[in-house]
Amino acid sequence: MLPAIAIADSMPVACGDALLRKIPPRASTALSGSEFARRIEGLSGLDREQSIEDQLFSGNVPEFLRTIDPIYLEGALRDGRTVHVTACVLPDYLAVGSNRDFLVIPMRLATALKVADQYGFTLPTSKMVDAIYEQAPVHLHPQPLPAGDRMRSTDYYCHHNELIAEQRAELGVAPGALTSGHMKDLVITNRLWRFPERVAIYGWHRGPHDPIQPLSTVHGGRYVDYSHGVRLVSDTICVEGRQMSIFDALADPDLARILSSEGPIARVNDLLSKLASLKLDYSPAFAGADGMPSFDFTAKPQ
């Protein structure tokens, strides 16, 4: 039996704007993306994260991120029945600013989880990232920048943001359509129970089921670079047209297989709360000369 839901004959309902009600309205005096980039230039990692959190908590996100798109998944239960699931996702990665002037903003895992919880959302699984790519009408190609310490700099964030904007212009697509391929995703995985001091990343697709970045937990939980995007997924999904918690679904042995390649993820809320509150120190095994984790594009992800 499925928890808290009965299988229905109706089709999945569309994702509604009510799921966005927790995102505060953007103030008329809010910073543009360019202004925000200048404000955080030169800030330490912790201060920059706090500034990102403050802006997103205040609702300083572009209007095009105040829409929501359905992603459809299906799978067979152990009794042979096919179940259709609708997950509701933001059309692009989190950004600070206005529609005309915004900065797609990478952030640490803890910051992403706090913002997601504040908005009534969560992070996707790697299987959901695949589904988003497959169903997105707009595909941008990955644009890796030279590796090194600058990968974590605001300058790299801004440069990568410019490359994404140029690619949109070349394709003639405006922000707002469901878009994928241009960043890696912070994701939920069972591996984080074993490695709660790490961050899980996946994606940067070159094509369907062809990510540059396989599911990886090699980096410390405070690590973030220009390629990390935060795609939010509503904490409410539809299973055969009936609403239920995505966390209940991820914990259920049947439904979890539809949403996650790993199967059930137990006590997801507990896991995410733990990750959002951890005070992390980097271990020498993952630290560079500056105490931050080292990164090598040629290294084999774990």
Q: pLDDT per residue over 123-165, tens digit each?
A: 999 999 999 999 999 999 999 999 999 999 999 999 999 999 9
Which pLDDT does position 14 carry in this prediction? 65
Which pLDDT does position 280 carry in this prediction? 56
Of 45-54, 71-80, 86-95, 210-219, give the lowest mean pLDDT range.
71-80
Q: Measure the CA–CA gap between 162 and 20, rounded to whole angstroms.
A: 27
Which residues form the domain of 43?
Answer: 17-278
Note whether residue 298 is domain-resident: no
Task: Enter the pTM of the model.
Answer: 0.88
Is residue 292 pLDDT above 80, yes or no?
no
The type of residue at 271 is L
Which pLDDT does position 181 carry in this prediction? 98
**What is the average per-residue pLDDT within 171-198?**
96
Is residue 231 pLDDT above 70, yes or no?
yes
Which pLDDT does position 268 carry in this prediction? 93
**pLDDT 10s digits, 77-133:** 888 899 999 999 999 999 999 999 999 999 999 999 999 999 999 999 999 999 999
Residue with tokens 């230039």: 41
Note whether residue 302 is domain-resident: no
Query: Which pLDDT band holds residue 285 (cuts at 50, 70, 90)?
Result: very low
Is residue 296 pLDDT above 70, yes or no?
no
Q: Measure the CA–CA gap between 116 and 150, rounded to whole angstroms.
A: 27
**What is the average per-residue pLDDT within 228-236?**
97
Angle at 272 between CA 266 and CA 275, to 5 degrees: 120
The two tokens of residue 167 are 């690619």
Nearest C-alpha neighbor of 70 from the set 92, 49, 91: 91
Nearest C-alpha neighbor of 256 from the set 78, 89, 15: 78
Note whether residue 285 is domain-resident: no
Note whether residue 106 is domain-resident: yes
Note whether residue 7 is domain-resident: no
Please, what is the average pLDDT of the chain? 89
Note whether residue 27 is domain-resident: yes
**What is the average per-residue pLDDT within 277-290?**
48
The proportion of the chain whose per-residue pLDDT surpasses 70, expressed as a percent, equals 87
Question: What are the distances in angstroms from CA 117 to CA 57, 102, 232?
Answer: 10, 22, 10
**What is the average per-residue pLDDT within 224-230?**
98
Which pLDDT does position 7 carry in this prediction? 37
Note whether residue 134 is domain-resident: yes
**What is the average per-residue pLDDT within 223-242?**
96
User: For the chain, what is the domain count?
Assistant: 1
Q: Assess contact for 31 and 96: CB atoms under 8 A.
A: yes
Residue-level length of the chain: 302
Note whether residue 259 is domain-resident: yes
